[in-house]
Amino acid sequence: MSYRKRVASLMMVDSIIVLTAIFISNFLLIPQSSPFTMMMVVSAVTLLIGHHYFANRYKLYHKVWQYASISELMGIFKAVTFSLVLTGAVQLLFFQAISLRTLAITWMMHILFIGGSRFSWRLYRDHYIQPRKNQKNTLIIGAGAAGTMVARQLQQSHESDMQAVAFIDDDLTKQHLELLDLPVVGGVEAIVATVEKLNIEHIIIAIPSLSKQELNVIFKECSKTKAKTKILPRIEDIMSGKVSVNQFRDVEVEDLLGREPVELDINGIEQYIKGKTILVTGAGGSIGSEICRQIAMFAPKELVMLGHGENSIYSIEMELKRTAPDLTISTEIADVQDREKMFSIMFNRQPHVVFHAAAHKHVPLMERNPEEAVKNNVIGTRNVAEASSEAKVNTFVMVSTDKAVNPTSVMGATKRIAEMVVQHMDMISETRFVAVRFGNVLGSRGSVIPLFKQQIQNGGPLTVTHPEMVRYFMTIPEASRLVLQAGALAEGGEVFVLDMGEPVKIVDLARNLIKLSGYTEEEIPIVFSGMRPGEKMFEELLGEDEVHNEQVYPKIYRGKTPEVNINVTYELVERFEGLSREELREQLLDIANFRVRELALKAVK
């Protein structure tokens, strides 16, 4: 219906323009004569009928005019010219005379008015581009400005092996029309049929404003075909000249993450970082190094990167010296378990903010080595926290995990106990201590994505622990920005949590990766290996007794955690080396889940 209304509206506008043009032309030449002479009436009717016939012949009612080009202008020229030639022939046939001056002025006004109505804001200098051979038929999803830019680039490029043949767009006002002489064949539901009908080998998603959920829907339809799916580079990269519009990239798992990025309070973050000394522990890790990259954008006085692995620290140092040459960078090769070294660094560097990202995070490994989890995650956190307090650090932000909620693993238990240490320090120190929880980080070391990619390179299969296992996911930059935002929001003692949307099934991630890698499940099968020790079927971001319903910032919540008796934790730290691994594991889980709270309170009394 919208298509028919659009055609009817254009025909009505054109009718007014045609009649206005011929009668004004006659008035300008012979102002004293009547406009309704027999010759004028016949000429006007002939011109009107001729215009609609040739306009339909050259598809003037089937163009997306906001992106019109020279080809559309040529269509207008032909339709107007032939309709005027027809009118002149009728005048000669019925009246044995041709009003050449009237027809000439009418022709010019006709071109001006029709062209102006279609080209009100933009004229293109393109002309017909001859199609090239040996190109792969390409379907463009999105008949907007970005899709038009892609199609034009493909038409003009002599190096591209792709040839745009059609558009897909859910906008009903564009369907059944043509854009750059390419048909808009339908909405997303027409992808599969169009690929088969037009022998499509490539699909390009060209909608910069696409949400994650919408991209998932489109990709699901694309995955039903054998065509290779690519996506447009980011618009800011195109505009800055980093990449060309025809440098399409593969769809990544991060693109399909079913949640929109959180918009941050840039001014708030800048206020407590700019011109200050910032220290990051675990700076060579996936999260720590990204935190350093994000901090560099806010012009700190000095960035101190502390880490245990010399190679990873060297790598991020060289990167930042290249990308942020004006940034003052210092490095410290140290272990957070070295208490004396932590105090020495804090007093020498005098940081304003400390981001504590150093931790052991691998669940199965920590199940087998619980004493190492205690040393790094609990004792290491205590060392850095107490050193920060003594050195009068303004804000201490600890990176935590959703596995700290109702933990069933040693890793989760030690991270929850580390949160207890941080909360206790906030109660007795002038430093503001906070923790930040988030789910799994795509692409981080030890995450499932690098494992799946390696398994695909090895020819499969992909190992998934359970078909119903779900996790919350976020990207490394998002996780790091949340940590920075927490520091800006910190009042002391909070556990900040990001609204991570809906959890994602691990098996769905595996299937998407197989498709994105150009394989099918027949070529790269998925096998279920069973849940590993310490794993949960699903993760939580806040326990039932920790929930604050109100958001402290869009999509960021503040958890309220129950009071803790730190003496129980510190007692375990003093004697953990004398326990067996199983005893240590049990006591860690007891403390982390508050199962010894009443006993501890009685002992204190």
Question: Which of the residues are catalytic?
Answer: 403
Sign of CA dihedral 169, 174, 176, 178: negative
Q: How far is CA 310 from CA 102, 283, 331, 603, in A?
A: 86, 10, 10, 45
CA–CA gap between residue 194 and residue 272 (Å, rounded): 54
The residues near 543 (Cβ < 8 Å, ≥ 6 apart) are 405, 406
Which residue from 393, 408, 403, 391 is spatially nearest to 343, judged by alpha carbons?
Answer: 391
- Contact present, 60 and 76 (Cβ < 8 Å): yes
The residues near 159 (Cβ < 8 Å, ≥ 6 apart) are none
CA–CA gap between residue 169 and residue 556 (Å, rounded): 34
Could you give the maximum distance between any two Cα atoms of the chain, in Å?
120
Q: Does residue 544 sit in helix, strand or coil? A: helix
- Contact present, 491 and 523 (Cβ < 8 Å): no
Residue 182: strand pairing partners: 179
The residue count for the chain: 605
- Contact present, 148 and 67 (Cβ < 8 Å): yes
- Contact present, 504 and 470 (Cβ < 8 Å): yes
> CA geometry: angle at 477 spanning 474 and 482, to 5°?
75
**For residue 525, what is the DSSP state?**
-
